[in-house]
């Protein structure tokens, strides 16, 4: 049984000529039971506006609306999808607004009312870029309560990774600094049309009221990007471009200058960011 009275997604794709474009990272979810499940993983949204990036033919959008989201604001770059999304908007009066354009260029805030959640199934490069932006505003808490995002499984593992593991890096630090981040669903390639080469996973990130440790977002982002860019090198060498006194800053943060980035936990990266910021 379908979750709504609109046509099945395969039919929507045929009617509107939405052959998937690789250049836009289009791998569509066609199973409306699955999209409703992902919508539920984002939380009970009766009292929330949901920002959806990349609705495509609207599978997740329909899941969010049928599961009761107060309002959905969807941003889609591919204009071919707009007629299909207009049909969904007509079926859910006053609950779906679609903005046409690149989510990296659009500020959605003037179209949203608090409280706000974010849900998306996005191409990999746009997804990580947006995630880093959502995690690093200068002030905290952010505009959103939670993010429910589909990633390649390998990226999802980088978000939730522990120190010492291969996947541990900038994404783990920025995510775990200000959120509780968990993989909540694993999906095989066959869940999508066309199937991508790799498996996917949904990550749910809940904003903490305050970051786990104080640090300046820009500095922490810069330090971790620099440290993990050369993750095999000792930190006194990989970070030497950040300060002439880098060894002093490392020691002040309880880090041995000979240690490597993947050995350093979140607390000590934050201490290092504070030490560098205080001297800049
Ligand atoms: N949400 C749909 C689903 O789950 O079936 C589509 C997912 S598909 C992986 C990614 C969607 O993001 C496509 O519809 C694509 O056109 C859109 N997209 C790609 N880059 C975008 C960008 N920069 N801004 C907004 N949408 C984008």
Q: Is 32 in the pocket of ligand 1 (CB under 6 A)?
A: no
- pLDDT the model gives residue 2: 77
Mean pLDDT of the chain: 97
Look at residue 279 and tell me whether its pLDDT is greater than 80.
no
Residue 1: which pLDDT band, with cuts at 50, 70 and 90?
A: low
Q: Are 183 and 203 in contact (CB under 8 A)?
A: yes
User: 280 pLDDT exceeds 70?
Assistant: no
Q: How far is CA 49 from CA 17, 65, 106, 109, in A?
A: 30, 11, 17, 11
pLDDT tens-digit readout, 176-211: 999 999 999 999 999 999 999 999 999 999 999 999
DSSP code of 186?
A: E
87-135 pLDDT per residue, tens: 999 999 999 999 999 999 999 999 999 999 999 998 888 999 999 999 9
Report the 10 Å Cβ neighbour count for 133: 12
pLDDT (average), residues 231-260: 97
The answer to whether the CB of 77 is under 6 A from ligand 1 is yes
Non-local (6+) Cβ contacts of 204 within 8 A are 41, 42, 146, 147, 148, 181, 182, 184
Q: Verify whether ligand 1 is closer than 6 Å to residue 59 (CB atom).
A: yes
Q: Is 42 in the pocket of ligand 1 (CB under 6 A)?
A: no
pLDDT score for 209? 98
pLDDT at 123: 87
- pLDDT score at 124: 81
CB 128 within 8 Å of CB 155:
yes
CA distances from 140 to 23, 29, 42, 209, 217 (A): 34, 33, 21, 8, 10
* CA 132 to centroid of ligand 1, rounded, Å: 18
- Which of 201, 148, 218 shows the shortest CA–CA distance to 179? 148
Q: Which of 72, 123, 128, 200 to mutate to test the pocket of ligand 1 (most atoms within 8 A of CB)?
A: 123
Residue 39's φ and ψ, nearest 5 degrees, are -60, -45
pLDDT in tens, 202-239: 999 999 999 999 999 999 999 999 999 999 999 999 99
Q: With H, G, I as helix, E, B as strand and everything else as coil, classify residue 145.
A: coil
> What is the distance between the alpha carbons of residues 163 and 143, in angstroms, rounded to a whole number?
28
| Binding site membership of 150 for ligand 1 (Cβ less than 6 Å) | no
The pLDDT tens digits of the residues spanning 14-40 come to 999 999 999 999 999 999 999 999 999
Ligand 1 centre to CA of 63 (Å) is 16
- 234: which DSSP letter? B
Tell me the best of 22, 77, 79, 103 to mutate to test the pocket of ligand 1, counting ligand atoms within 8 Å of each CB and taking the most. Answer: 77
Average pLDDT over residues 77-91: 98
């Amino acid at each position: 049984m379908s979750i709504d009275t609109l046509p099945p997604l395969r039919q929507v794709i045929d009617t509107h000529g939405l052959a998937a474009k690789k250049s836009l990272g289009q791998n569509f979810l066609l199973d409306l039971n699955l999209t409703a499940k992902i919508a539920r993983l984002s939380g009970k949204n009766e009292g929330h506006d949901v920002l959806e990036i990349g609705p495509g033919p609207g599978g997740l959008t329909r899941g969010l609306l049928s599961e009761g989201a107060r309002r959905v604001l969807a941003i889609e770059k591919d204009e071919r999808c707009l007629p299909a999304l207009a049909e969904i908007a007509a079926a859910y009066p006053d609950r779906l607004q679609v903005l046409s354009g690149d989510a990296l260029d659009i500020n959605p805030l003037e179209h949203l009312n608090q409280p706000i959640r974010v849900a998306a199934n996005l191409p990999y490069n746009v997804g990580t870029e947006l995630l880093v932006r959502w995690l690093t505003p200068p002030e905290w808490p952010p505009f959103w309560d939670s993010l429910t995002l589909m990633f390649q499984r390998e990226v999802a593992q980088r978000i939730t990774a522990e120190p010492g593991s291969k996947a541990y890096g900038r994404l783990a630090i920025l995510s775990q600094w200000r959120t509780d981040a968990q993989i909540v669903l694993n999906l095989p390639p066959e869940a999508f049309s066309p199937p991508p080469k790799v498996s996917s996973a949904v990550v749910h990130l809940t904003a903490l009221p305050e970051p786990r440790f104080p640090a300046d977002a820009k500095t922490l982002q810069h330090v971790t990007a620099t440290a993990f860019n050369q993750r095999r090198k000792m930190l006194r060498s990989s970070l030497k471009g950040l300060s002439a006194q880098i060894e002093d800053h490392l020691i002040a943060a309880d880090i041995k200058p000979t240690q490597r980035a993947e050995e350093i936990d979140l607390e000590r990266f934050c201490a290092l960011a504070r030490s560098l910021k205080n001297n800049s």
